[in-house]
A and B are shown apart, each in its own frame.
Chain A
Amino acid sequence: MKERLSLPFLAVIALFSGWVVLLGYFVDLPGLSDLRTLFLDWAVTLVAVAVVVGVIHLARRHAQRIRQGEEGAALNLVTLTSLAMSILAILLSGGLDGEASRWLYNNLWLPLESSLLAVLSVSLIYAFTRLFTRRFTFFGLVFALTTLFVLFTTLPWPGLEALGLAELRAWVLQVWAAAGGRGLLLGIALGALTAGLRVLLAAENPYSG
């Protein structure tokens, strides 16, 4: 009951902060701009605290899986050990620029992310082939042909310039692809504006459950 009573109060704080930040972005009034900066500073601090909470939550979840002996618990142990190693390395080597931190970054983090990128390329090719087997539509065909054409003409084939394919590729990318991309981005920007305004008009409150 206590929690329910506090909800409207929390919603008012959230809406007030949202309107101050929005108006402060457009109108340069001394008091309003200061208040906006203050609210944004608080938000950044809260986000930083949330990251710490997030890391604790992540560690707790992995520890729980190890305790319960769930499938793949060995991987959870590797993750927890890596987390402990990273924290120790950063603390002992005097921050993110320390030698041990850099070593971990260059020799563990970068190769791991690179290997995921390699897996990603396979996944993308696999998804592309699915286009032909699952949902073959006119727009699917346009998507597939454009992708194949751009990939094909990216390679340094001999005679590409002479055939005019390099120019055609530039035309496809700079005119059609850029126009399509901008059209989608305009729609997305309008959608984002709508989503933000619905929250600021209190029509939705996804922040309070």
Chain B
Amino acid sequence: MSLLALGIVALFSLLTLLLAARARRQGERPLRHIPAFHRLNQEMALSVEAGQQVHLALGHGGLFEMPGAATFLALTMLQHTSRLAAVSDYPPVATSGEAVQGLLSQEIAHAAARLLRAEEQFTLNLGQINGLTPFSYAAGALTLVSEPKVAVNAFGGSFGSEAALLSDAALKRGNLVLAGSENLTAQAVFFPATETPLLGEEFFAAAAYLQGGTIARAALLAQDIFRWALIVVLLGGALLKLVGVW
């Protein structure tokens, strides 16, 4: 069973690399429109022009298991945001509910400031650790969500039902532009809260949409191919069971 799983991972990696090689030869295919990512870029540009701040809530996922993947995606989003908006009067600020994630967000903010030769703008407060349990994190991050200098609130990472407290505060300010998570409860909370919710695996497309890159786009295509293969297997299995073959 574990060898089969390893085979699937190997096949996925191989397919990604093949699709990346093909994209380098033949050019990249356009991606379908996901409004949340488009809106994030747009609002971020406006906030930089207006000299206001972008707040990215990274949740409390940590680095292990499924929430770990969401954390990596959230950090990739932060990397993108920090590089684009680091020259603003107020560089982007990230809030975390997990210590390692918080330390990594500080490192990302510092690296963006170094890259843009704006190190004097960097402080450790650009990567805040607001609490180490879901509710204490939400309570700690609430003050930042409601701050007048924050023009854009984006939530990406691992959240639970406590996300409702944060999204409610952001909605009152009218500046919630993106909300995505790997957690189904959080997705259900975000669905009525935002006009552009990220459902299912859409949040995991963030790297391809925000940073681009051949591998990221090829991995997204490989993901689509695997999804269709899974659908065929599931429907085929159901059909075989229905006719009594399996």
Q: Which residues of A contact B (CB under 8 A)?
A: 22-23, 25-28, 43, 46-47, 50-51, 53-55, 57-58, 61, 64, 72, 113, 116-117, 119-120, 123-124, 126-128, 130-131, 134-135, 140, 143, 181, 183-199, 201, 203-204, 206-209
Contacts and interface: CB of A to CB of B under 8 A. Distances in A.
B107 A208 contact: yes
Contacts of B132: 51, 54-55, 58
Interface in B180-207: 182, 184, 187, 189, 191-193, 195, 199-201, 203-205, 207
A196 B79 contact: no
Contact of B204 (A43, A135, A183, A195): A195
Contacts of A191: 69, 182, 200-201, 203-205, 223
A74 to B, nearest CB: 13
Interface string B61-78: 011001011101101101
Interface of B: 2-3, 5-6, 9, 12-13, 16-17, 62-63, 66, 68-70, 72-73, 75-76, 78-79, 98-100, 102-104, 107-108, 110-112, 124-125, 128-133, 135, 138-140, 143, 161-162, 164-165, 167-168, 171, 182, 184, 187, 189, 191-193, 195, 199-201, 203-205, 207, 211, 213, 215-216, 219-220, 222-223, 226-227, 230
A57 B95 CA distance: 12
User: Majority SS of interface residues in chain A?
Assistant: helix
A154 to B, nearest CB: 16
Contact of B191 (A51, A120, A143, A197): A143
Contacts of A201: 13, 16-17, 215
Contacts of A186: 227, 230
User: Majority SS of interface residues in chain B?
Assistant: helix
Given A26-B5, A47-B62, A119-B165, 12 more contacts: A53-B99, A58-B132, A113-B135, A124-B161, A188-B66, A190-B204, A191-B201, A192-B69, A193-B223, A195-B73, A196-B69, A206-B78
Given A47-B99, A130-B193, A209-B112, A192 B66 contact: yes
Contact of B200 (A22, A47, A184): A184
A140 B192 contact: yes
B168 to A, nearest CB: 4
A203 B200 contact: no
A53 B72 contact: no
A61 B223 contact: no
Nearest to A64: B125
A127 B66 contact: no
A73 to B, nearest CB: 12
B219 A192 contact: no
* Most B-side CB within 10 Å, residue of A51, A140, A143, A192: A192
Contacts of B215: 198, 201, 203
B176 to A, nearest CB: 11
B99 A26 contact: no
A103 B5 CA distance: 47
* Most B-side CB within 10 Å, residue of A55, A57, A185, A201: A57
Nearest to A60: B124
Among all A-B residue pairs, the 3 with the closest Cβ atoms? A191-B204, A209-B111, A54-B99
A29 to B, nearest CB: 12
Nearest to B127: A57
A127 B167 contact: yes
A120 B164 contact: yes
Nearest to B193: A127
Given A61-B128, A184-B199, A203 B9 contact: no
A188 B73 CA distance: 12
B216 A204 contact: yes
B182 A192 contact: yes
B205 A72 contact: no
Contacts of A134: 195
A190 B227 contact: yes
B78 to A, nearest CB: 8
A198 B219 CA distance: 8
A195 B79 CA distance: 15
